[in-house]
């Protein structure tokens, strides 16, 4: 009789935990589906917003180019260059956000592209002149060239191992 009682209690306890485990599994599956849906909504939003932001930025870049080709003074050309550079910077940020979304989705493709470090530094100096003056950044072409040489040395060192 005691053995039957122990078996019934064990069966009851086991049933309790099985039911509880099934509820937990269902709850986690529901949460997983909600997370996947939220990720899809975010990706769709990012794609839509990137298009909405890129279109006017491309218009700004194109119109700046057209104005620069017309009879613009030297000062106006400098201002148009800054407008174009700022729009290109914003376009780069939008592209970076999309790249981040691609990384999250596992759809990233890595590109190997050459770049000119001197023009990168020049873009930073032109885009953020006040901040650069506060930090007392001053890059001469000699310093930029030595930076480039240093980066090329690092790259060639890395290429030996990868």
Q: Same domain for 24 and 66? A: yes
Question: Exposed, middle or buried, 85 (CB in 10 Å: 0-12/13-18/19+)?
Answer: middle
Q: Same domain for 1 and 28? A: yes
Structure tokens that stand for 76 in this block = 């106006």
**For helices 2-69 and 74-105, angle between their N-to-C axes, nearest 10 degrees:** 160
Per-residue model confidence (pLDDT) at position 162:
44
Q: What is the pLDDT of residues 70-126, one digit of tens each?
A: 888 889 988 998 899 888 888 888 887 777 777 776 676 777 888 787 777 777 767
**Residue 5 belongs to domain with CATH number:** 1.10.287
Q: Same domain for 94 and 23? A: yes
Share of the chain above pLDDT 70, in %: 68
Cα Rg of the chain (Å, integer): 29
Average pLDDT, the chain: 76
Q: Average pLDDT, stretch 61-72?
A: 88
Domain of 43 in residue numbering reads as 1-111
Contacts of 39 (CB under 8 A, 6+ apart): 104, 105
What total of structural domains would you count in the chain? 2
Predicted model pTM: 0.49
Q: Same domain for 62 and 136? A: no
Q: Same domain for 48 and 119? A: no
Q: Same domain for 104 and 138? A: no
């Amino acid at each position: 009789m005691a053995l039957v009682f122990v078996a019934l209690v064990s069966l009851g306890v086991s049933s309790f935990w099985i039911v509880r485990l099934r509820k937990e599994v269902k709850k986690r599956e529901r949460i997983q589906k909600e997370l996947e849906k939220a990720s899809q909504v975010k990706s769709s939003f990012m794609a839509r917003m990137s298009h909405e932001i890129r279109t006017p930025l491309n218009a700004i870049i194109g119109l700046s180019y057209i104005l620069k080709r017309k009879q613009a003074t030297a000062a106006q050309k400098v201002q148009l260059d800054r407008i174009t550079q700022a729009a290109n910077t914003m376009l780069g940020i939008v592209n970076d956000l999309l790249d981040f979304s691609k990384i999250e989705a596992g759809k990233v493709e890595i590109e190997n592209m050459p770049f000119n470090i001197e023009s990168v530094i020049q873009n930073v100096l032109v885009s953020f002149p006040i901040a650069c003056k506060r930090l007392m950044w001053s890059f001469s072409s000699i310093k930029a060239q030595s930076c480039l040489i240093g980066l090329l040395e690092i790259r060639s060192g890395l290429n030996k191992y990868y």
